[in-house]
Amino acid sequence: MSIRHSVIIDCDPGQDDAVALLMAYGSRDELDIRGITTVAGNVPLRLTQENARRVTELAGITDIPIYAGCARPIMRDLVTAEWIHGATGLDGCGLPDASMSLADGHAVDFIVDTCLAAADGEMTLAPTGPLTNIAMAIVKEPAILPKIREIVLMGGAMDHGNTTPAAEFNIYVDPHAAHVVFECGRPVVMLGLDVTHKAITTPARLDAIKRLGTPVSDSVAGMLTFYNKYDIDRYGMEGGPLHDPCVIAYLLRPELFSGRHVHVAIDTKSELSMGKTVVDWWDGNDQAANATVIDRIDADGFYALLTERLARV
């Protein structure tokens, strides 16, 4: 396989972020992973950076640097989600504390420096948490923009929010950062709840992962068993939606997904719908499209790809 993307994964692990990292680690023949940057989100930064290192150690990877980034959103107080992810953010993983070191320097500087050193259109950014680090990098050094091929993110919802009735978690936590990213002028792919709620970890799909019988699959099964509980109770579904790995699957097999190129605005003004992604699906406001909003997935194909990639780690 040849390299499809040179990518920085910006994340807030979180069990589904962790599975996304492992899926990416099993795909290094197709993804040139330049680094992992972490941000405050599901849990505070001191835990998200630690969790990224725990997962990277599980994969036996020593040559991908992990950076800590922004400890809070740009304008608003940090909101976390321990009620879904547990106190550590990675409950159920069965992993020890991290022993590998954090890379020196700040995640935002790493994103800026890596992009500046790249050719035009070379870098893909893959955020699976609040968009604080990505927005800060764009604000700090707008000269990175031509270097960015696309920003493929998990966040947003056309339909129902999961954190407020209007807003999805990643966009709700830092709506001002999301505004910067959606307005940045580079291609944005939004994998929001409209598609991730069609990627359900059913018992059969979880069993297929368990059957791999590796330390990675044991840890993933433990994480997803913990993580699914909240969503099964809340949504009454067979399993939980597996949000963040959809980003990695999109990088690897975009043909598993479909959507529409439309205009997306972020509400940063109203407390009632703060962080809502206002998606102009039917082109009502005549504004130029700024994002591809994905709403469909071949879920069986996605889980087959995920299981195959986890088997390689």
Which residues form the catalytic set? 243
Answer yes or no: are the C-beta atoms of 97 and 50 closer than 8 Å. Answer: yes
- Interaction partner, residue 84 (ligand BDR, Ca ion, none; CB < 5-8 Å by kind): ligand BDR
Nearer to Ca ion among residue 90 and residue 293 (C-beta): 90
Total of chain residues touching ligand BDR, rule CB under 6 A? 15
Binding site for Ca ion (CB under 5 A): 12, 14, 17, 128-129, 244
Q: Is 16 in the site for ligand BDR (CB under 6 A)?
A: yes
Candidate list 40, 47, 131, 154; residue touching ligand BDR; CB under 6 A: 154
Widest CA span of the chain, in angstroms? 52
Candidate list 5, 7, 9, 14; residue touching ligand BDR; CB under 6 A: 14
Q: Which stretch binds ligand BDR (CB under 6 A): 2-10, 162-170, 181-189, 283-291?
A: 162-170
Nearer to Ca ion among residue 168 and residue 244 (C-beta): 244
Alpha carbon distance 57, 219 (integer Å): 12
Nearer to Ca ion among residue 129 and residue 161 (C-beta): 129
Alpha carbon distance 224, 278 (integer Å): 30
Nearer to ligand BDR among residue 131 and residue 144 (C-beta): 131
Nearer to ligand BDR among residue 144 and residue 166 (C-beta): 166
Candidate list 42, 124, 228, 277; residue touching ligand BDR; CB under 6 A: 42
- Interaction partner, residue 259 (ligand BDR, Ca ion, none; CB < 5-8 Å by kind): none
Q: Is 170 in the site for ligand BDR (CB under 6 A)?
A: yes
Answer yes or no: are the C-beta atoms of 221 and 22 closer than 8 Å. Answer: no
Alpha carbon distance 228, 264 (integer Å): 29
- Interaction partner, residue 239 (Ca ion, ligand BDR, none; CB < 5-8 Å by kind): none
Q: Is 291 in the site for ligand BDR (CB under 6 A)?
A: no
Interface positions, 186-245, toward ligand BDR (CB under 6 A) = 243-244
- Residues composing the chain: 313
Q: Is 174 in the site for ligand BDR (CB under 6 A)?
A: no
Residues in touch with ligand BDR (CB under 6 A): 14, 16-17, 42, 81, 84, 128-129, 154, 162, 168-170, 243-244
